[in-house]
Amino acid sequence: MNTLNTLNKNQLTVEGGQTLTLENNIYKIQQGDESLRNRILEAYQPFIKKVVSKVCNRFIDHTMDEFSIGLVAFNEAMNQYRKGQGSKFLTFADMVIRRRIIDFIRKETRQVKHIFLDYVDSDDENGLEESYIEQQVAISHYEEQQQIEERMVQIEEYEQMLLQYGITFNVLSKHCPKHVDARENAKVVARLLVSNDKMVQFLQKKKRLPIQELLNYVQCSRKTIERNRKYIIALALIYIGGFAALQSYIEPETLS
């Protein structure tokens, strides 16, 4: 069910009876409509709880710290959302909430670990050694699970961003250059693209490569760029989205 439907007509309508999309409402909030901000925050609390509960893998209600962090993250997303970034607002808000919750969980895990270590150091009983080892194993397992969750979050976000450009993982696998040197050339093109704000804006707005502009900076031909355009776009989106979990795809490979 689309969460947008939870807002009543008064919350989606401005003077003159014009119905606005959620994204347009976010732009109004960024222009200073604090009343609308509060209504949106209230209306999307179920969405926030759902995202937070999924990350924490347990039910979260409005009395918990995790929900408060999710609410703050949703508000942060309203401030940071920009036109032409390749995703709907709720997709972007989902990403911001997940990242903030994962950061919170990591911080809490480190604090628990330090408290336990201080407790062990202050007591010489041998019986604590086994408990310490068990705790270390539990903490390591928990941190590993959180890393897996963060990777999955980023992969999901990346998949949604690719769809905005008409690219699926299946399509991408078919358009990935077979030779290492071809992939490296594509990475060079992608890095040049994301280093130029004008070209990034063109990509995000037109959903296609600024080939003519790229030809002013790269050595390869138009034909080469066009042949590898989907792969180049996919690489550029990893940079634009800041997907650390996918960093290996944009790092240089060893030429054989």
Q: Which residues pair with 13 in a beta bridge?
A: 19
| pLDDT < 50 stretches in the chain | 1-6, 8-11, 13-16, 115-117, 119-123, 125-129, 132, 255-256
- From CA 17, how far away is CA 12, in angstroms rounded? 9
CA gap 116, 106 in Å, rounded: 15
Q: What is the pLDDT of residue 13?
A: 43
Among the listed residues 249, 241, 195, the one whose alpha carbon sits nearest the alpha carbon of residue 218? 195
- CA atoms of 217 and 195, how far apart (whole Å): 11
This prediction's pTM: 0.53
- Fill in the DSSP letter of residue 256: -
> pLDDT tens digits for 167-216?
988 888 888 888 888 899 999 999 999 999 999 999 999 999 999 999 99
Sign of the Cα torsion 251, 184, 202, 25 reads: negative
User: Could you report the per-residue pLDDT of 33-54, keeping only the tens digit for each?
Assistant: 999 999 999 999 999 999 999 8
Q: Are 231 and 176 in contact, with CB atoms under 8 Å apart?
A: yes
How far is Cα 43 from Cα 52, in angstroms, rounded to an integer? 16
